[in-house]
């Protein structure tokens, strides 16, 4: 049987970002997928040599706008660990609130794109309409809708007033009702089930061996989440990783739905535990040494390796993003897929090429 190589991306109607794969197909069946990374490489890590470590907070936020707050938090935590800085408790709780709000709006963005991938444009608009509630919270509390720049080395630069806290809790109630209604609309839909159940299956053993992270890992039944490390304020919150055992595209979709509801609950818990302390502390000296920090992005575990040499400029900033970790599992689930199922399988990992090609 003859084989054909078909380019998938970097421009494709279903792709939110320019992922580029070369698909080796026999008739309509994919037998191999070959990635081509580097299409939008931006060299952000190199900026550490010409921007001081405080300015780099704003640079790392631009690695990915959708999860910018979590990038900044991971970077700040690495420096705080290196410089033995104890962040005030209120700042840790506020970081948790904003990071979970980012997780909510990231998952809602993906759910809208996933619905649009099936041709459900009205559902796409509905998910993004719900997402607007979170964007309004970001704008009201931080001054911007996406890149909010609330994290600084040593704490945070903004606070939540009692009025803001009450408003956020009201918005969380609205969010929960709307998400529960949309959840059955998607997960119980005949077309969605036919296109996702049994499609792109990744077993738990494959997920562990190939280094899958985030919903890609938990959608294969592995209950592992970097928030279990209890960074920020997660040591005070009631939290268990969400895992769905099926390992297919439907399971990964369900994990994200459930994580939105979980993040709503975590925001409520965090607001109830806001202590009355300062927002930041003065950072003494200059960073020296090397540290690895780990947090949980919406797409999975994010790692920052930071090396300081005692000056205001860092010697090295190296970032391992979740989409980069999920490329090998993506290639594994491609084999045996029908060509028409490739867009759904690719979308199911929530690819962020902005993160991957820094």
Query: Which residues are bridge partners to 292 per DSSP?
Result: 305
Q: What is the pLDDT of residue 255?
A: 98
Annotated ligand binding at 69? The verdict is no
| Burial state string for 48-64 with b = 16 or more CB within 10 A and e = fewer than 16 | beebebeebbebbbbbb
pTM, two decimals, is 0.95
pLDDT digits (tens, 9 = 90+) for 64-101: 889 999 999 999 999 999 999 999 999 999 999 999 99
Query: Which residues are bridge partners to 301 per DSSP?
Result: 296
Annotated ligand binding at 67? The verdict is yes
Annotated ligand binding at 121? The verdict is no
Q: What is the pLDDT of residue 11?
A: 79
Q: What is the pLDDT of residue 37?
A: 79
Q: What is the pLDDT of residue 240?
A: 94
Burial class (CB in 10 A: 0-12, 13-18, 19+), 238: exposed
DSSP 3-state of 294: strand
pLDDT digits (tens, 9 = 90+) for 342-358: 988 999 999 888 888 77
In the block, tokens 């459930």 appear at: 258
Q: What is the pLDDT of residue 33?
A: 92
> Which ranges of the chain have pLDDT less than 70?
1
Annotated ligand binding at 193? The verdict is no
Query: Which residue ranges form the domains of the chain, and what is each CATH number?
Result: 4-356 (1.10.645.10)
CB 94 within 8 A of CB 156: yes
pLDDT digits (tens, 9 = 90+) for 97-129: 999 999 999 999 999 999 988 889 999 999 999
Q: Is the dihedral of CA 311, 313, 318, 321 positive or negative?
A: positive
Percent share of the chain, pLDDT over 70: 99
Q: What is the pLDDT of residue 198?
A: 94
Q: How far is CA 16 from the centre of its chain?
A: 15
Distance CA 252, CA 195 (A): 13
Residue 252 token pair? 């990964």
Annotated ligand binding at 81? The verdict is no
Q: What is the pLDDT of residue 1?
A: 65
Q: What angle do CA 214, 47, 281 make, to 5 degrees?
A: 75
DSSP 309-326: ESSSSEEEEEEE-HHHHH
* List of residues 6+ apart from 210 with CB closer than 8 A: 202, 328, 329, 332
Q: What is the pLDDT of residue 38?
A: 73
E strands within the chain?
Answer: 4-8, 21-26, 29-35, 151-152, 155-156, 288-297, 300-309, 314-320
Distance CA 241, CA 243 (A): 6
Q: What is the pLDDT of residue 2?
A: 78
């Amino acid at each position: 049987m003859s084989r054909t190589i078909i380019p998938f991306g970097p421009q494709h109607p279903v792709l939110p970002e320019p992922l580029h794969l070369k698909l080796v197909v026999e008739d309509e069946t994919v037998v191999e997928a070959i990635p081509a990374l580097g299409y939008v490489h931006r060299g952000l890590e190199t900026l550490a040599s010409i921007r001081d470590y405080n300015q780099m907070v704003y640079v790392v936020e631009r690695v990915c706008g959708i999860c910018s707050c979590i990038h900044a938090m991971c970077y700040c935590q690495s420096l705080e660990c290196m410089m033995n800085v104890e962040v005030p408790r209120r700042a840790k709780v506020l970081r948790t609130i904003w990071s979970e709000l980012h997780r909510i709006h990231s998952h809602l963005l993906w759910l809208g794109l996933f619905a649009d991938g099936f041709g459900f444009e009205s559902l796409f608009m509905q998910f993004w309409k719900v997402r607007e509630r979170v964007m309004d919270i970001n704008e009201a509390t931080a001054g911007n809708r996406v890149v909010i720049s609330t994290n600084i080395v040593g704490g945070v630069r903004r606070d939540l007033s009692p009025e803001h806290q009450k408003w956020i809790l009201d918005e969380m109630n609205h969010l929960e009702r709307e998400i529960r209604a949309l959840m059955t609309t998607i997960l119980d839909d005949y077309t969605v089930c036919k296109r996702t159940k049994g499609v792109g299956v990744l077993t738990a053993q494959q997920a562990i061996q190939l280094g899958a992270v985030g919903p890609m890992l938990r959608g294969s039944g592995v209950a592992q989440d970097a928030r279990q490390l209890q960074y920020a304020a997660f040591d005070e919150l009631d939290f268990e990783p969400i895992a769905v055992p099926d390992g297919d595209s439907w399971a990964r979709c369900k994990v994200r739905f459930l994580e939105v509801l979980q993040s709503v609950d975590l925001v409520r818990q965090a607001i109830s535990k806001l202590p009355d302390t300062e927002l930041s502390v003065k950072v003494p000296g200059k960073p020296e040494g090397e540290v690895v920090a780990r947090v949980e992005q919406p797409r999975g575990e994010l790692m920052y390796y930071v090396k300081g040499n005692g000056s205001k400029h860092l010697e090295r900033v190296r970032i391992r993003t979740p989409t980069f970790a999920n490329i090998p599992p993506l290639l594994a689930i491609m084999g045996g897929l029908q060509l028409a199922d490739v867009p759904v399988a690719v979308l199911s990992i929530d690819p962020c090429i902005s993160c991957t090609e820094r």
